[in-house]
Amino acid sequence: MLKYVYLKKLIEEMDLEIVHQSTDLNDIRIYSSDISRPGLQIMGYYEKFVPERIQVIGSAEWHYFNQLPYEERYSSLDKFLSYPIPALIISRSLPIFPELLELAQKHNRTVLRSGEITSKLFNQLISFIDIQLSPETRVHGVLVEVYGVGVLITGKSGVGKSETALDLVIRGHRLISDDTVIIKRIEDMLQGRSPEVTRHFMEIRGVGILDIERLYGVGSVKYDEFIEMNIELELWDDKKEYDRIGLDETFIDILGIPVTKLTIPVRPGRNVAMIIEVAARNFRQKILGYNAADKLNERVKKQIELNMSKKEREMGDK
């Protein structure tokens, strides 16, 4: 199914000024993050024109229009707006030509205005549309930022995900989402955020709903974070053999991207939040090229080799 974002949502999220609203504004859909500056079209060249894109008039185009005689400017804008463009955005809060407003009404086109410079406006438009059009999934879990690492905590209901996340917040880390995490694939990265209705809220059984931002301040929460690690909590199983060295890495696939996964057994008296802190620090060390498990493995191998050499020398002496 072809993904899209409504123009109305883009206007609201980017706080764009509506200069003229077309009658079909609420139905206009954007299917691509490609944005155009209609410099060639202003000059009359339409052979490669793609009217399905959002059009942006920046300072250069505006000043070109401004120096044209009225009749030429009117004719150029008339032809340009005759094409079914989704919207025309004027950057830098530049003045609106009266004939532009007149022709927007004539052709039923949406005209918007932004205070941003053109290059920044382009980047914001592309970034917003790309995120909206990215593949998306929802995961039952908690997303926190620990030492700059986005950690997705998963596990069965009642295992202690929210309590662990709360402990991490108290320790100075940040909450992104509790209970449900919306994950979007942006190029080769996974961005996680909270559903808007539950953003910054957390449920702790026996206590109820907590507003983390109000309780612990704005520094305790974050709007979104890129997911780099998945930690699955499970009740301790004495019959199960848990990884004690860490030489073999495990990954979970989320939207086609492998994410490092650790399984942490939970039982009374075990400080899970502290273990997640250590796991995040260790993950960062691995990214920087240091792996404690590999280092220890090398030392053990060298010691075995030394012991074997010593035995061979002793056998030779005999």
Sign, CA torsion 206/207/211/215:
negative
Pair (31, 112) in one structural domain = yes
| pLDDT tens profile 132-172 | 899 999 999 999 999 999 999 999 988 999 999 999 999 99
Please count the residues of the chain: 318
- In terms of domains, do 255 and 299 share one? no
List the CATH number of the domain containing 212.
3.40.50.300
CATH of the domain at 124: 3.40.1390.20
Pair 207, 251 in one domain = yes
Range of the domain at 184: 136-287
User: CA dihedral in degrees (82, 13, 229, 153; nearest 10)?
Assistant: -130
Residue 22: the pLDDT is 96
Residues 153 and 280 in one domain: yes
Q: Same structural domain for residues 20 and 156?
A: no
Reported as a single tens digit per residue, the pLDDT across 42-68 is: 889 999 899 999 999 999 999 999 999
Contact 293, 242 (CB under 8 A): no
Instruction: Note whether 90 and 166 are same-domain residues.
Output: no
- The C-alpha atoms of residue 109 and residue 54 are separated, in whole angstroms, by 11
Are 215 and 239 in contact by the 8 Å Cβ rule? The answer is no
Instruction: Please tell me the pTM assigned to this model.
Output: 0.73
Question: What residues act catalytically?
Answer: 140, 161, 179, 244
Of 115, 133, 151, the residue at which a domain comes to its end is 133
Distance CA 306, CA 303 (A): 5
